[in-house]
Amino acid sequence: MRSLARRTERAFTGQYWNSKDDGVFQCVCCGQPLFDTKTKFDSGTGWPSFWQLLEENNVSLVADNSWFAKRTEVTCSRCDAHLGHVFEDGPRPTGLRYCMNSAALKLAPRATEK
């Protein structure tokens, strides 16, 4: 059972779409680390977008053929929460755009090294 509905918030309305704060974005449901803010970029879409995952194993990619389109859904690999979608129109070096819902994310301070 999904922790978050498979719905997408309206563009330019989420808490993090234009955030410039530093830290690590985590899954709002289980706290799993997902994205470093250093990989966040302005995609012009109105949703927080990232060009790289923090750890590949922290998400699952699922075929999504809803709304008459072929997309790839991104879910949390720990709790199966819907996070957003990934597209192949992002910047270098990956060419990917992880387009996430602000409601699915929680920004945490970056861990300090001792």
Catalytic residues: 99
Distance CA 39, CA 48 (A): 10
List residues bridging with 94 in a β-sheet: none
Q: Which of 80, 61, 90 is nearest to 2 (CA)?
A: 80
CA distances from 48 to 65, 68, 70, 107, 113 (A): 22, 23, 21, 12, 26
